[in-house]
Amino acid sequence: MPALERLGQLPRLPLTLAPTPVEELARLRQALGTESQLLVKRDDAIPLGFGGNKVRKLHVVAAQALAEGADTLITTGGVQSNHARATAAVAARLGLGCVLVANGVPQARPTANALLDRLLGADVRYVSAREERDPAMQQAAAELRAAGRNPCVIPLGASTAHGAAAYALAVGELLQQISAPDTIVLSSSSGGTQAGILAGCALHRLATRVVGVSADDPAPAIADEIRRILQDLGRLLDAPSAFTNVSIEIDDTRVGGGYGIATPESTEATELCARREALFLDPTYTAKAMAGLMALARAGTLKGTTLFWHTGGQVALFA
């Protein structure tokens, strides 16, 4: 059975995930003076749990958890993690328990994603450092198993083979909407979304350039994670060499002061997209990705059609 067919047979959540809109960014194109047609794929518009790429990933990841009989989802992230909020939303919709391990200090008055986590009924446990997150998830899982529960531990960002499979499937969704774009630009951090898009392009034999713009880590670290996820996805699809020669492109020049810290370029991107297109970006991920796209446009290196894959996160504007 071909890998693309195996991909299409993976279990998915019994929740509606309609194709997200593809819109033209004509006024942004005019502002940037680029010849490339600019489009945006609106995964920020996924209805469940304020949307975003994590909800799309969980469409497959949580289906795997259900198939394994899970009654609780456990995951991790920062206090304002989009992934944590998406996991809590999916758990609430499915009637599952949810434990979130958040590194950071609890807010006296929760805002943005932290507020939504509480409204969704998640059990939020705090640790002081990133290095403590995985042990805390395993401890929570052990406690639940001892109580007769069946938890599923979902790694940071749902950046697993199943999470990537959701974005490989999304490439097929995109091709039902438009012809293959010449370039796709997106935010890249834990690597799963970019790995999935790269896999989808490979499976559909597209020559599309995929540019991941780092929100935090150096390019080699993200590229290593993407290679690991692609290897796992290849094994999942019984095609271990399917993604061996995939070209991975990461722009880590937009990180600035680090994770969640705005740069002058990301602030400009946020304001320009809002004022030209009424398109809202988030300060941690998509604003930096759009800053990367804008730099490419102004350098004259974008040709044909360029698609910005909006991965959501705009709830962070209210943090």
What pLDDT does residue 15 have?
Answer: 73
Q: What is the pLDDT of residues 101-130, one digit of tens each?
A: 999 999 999 999 999 999 999 999 999 999
CA distance 310 to 319: 19
* CATH number of the structural domain spanning residue 262: 3.40.50.1100
Domain end (from 93, 124, 157):
157
Domain end (from 142, 157, 172):
157
Tell how strand 305-310 and strand 37-42 pair up: parallel
On the question of pLDDT at 16 being above 80, the answer is no
Q: Is residue 81 annotated as a catalytic residue, yes or no? A: yes
Q: Is residue 63 part of a domain?
A: no
CA distance 268 to 89: 31
Q: Which two tokens stand for residue 14?
A: 């019994």
Q: Is residue 199 part of a domain?
A: yes
What pLDDT does residue 14 have?
Answer: 76
Q: How confident is the model at residue 133 (pLDDT cuts 50, 70, 90)?
A: very high
Sign of the CA dihedral with 130 first, then 131, 135, and 138 last: positive
What pLDDT does residue 18 have?
Answer: 84
- Catalytic-labelled residue, pool 36, 81, 159, 188: 81
Q: Which domain holds residue 236?
A: 3-52+159-318
What pLDDT does residue 1 have?
Answer: 72
Q: Is residue 292 part of a domain?
A: yes
Q: What is the 3-state secondary structure (H, E, C) of 124-169?
A: EEEECCHHHHHHHHHHHHHHHHHCCCCEEECCHHHCCHHHHHHHHH
Q: Is residue 60 part of a domain?
A: no
Mean per-residue pLDDT for 29-41? Answer: 97
The reply to whether 222 and 288 lie within a common domain is yes
Mean per-residue pLDDT for 91-99? Answer: 97
pTM equals 0.96
Query: How many domains would you assign to the chain?
Result: 2
Domain end (from 111, 126, 157):
157
Q: How confident is the model at residue 70 (pLDDT cuts 50, 70, 90)?
A: very high
The reply to whether 185 and 261 lie within a common domain is yes
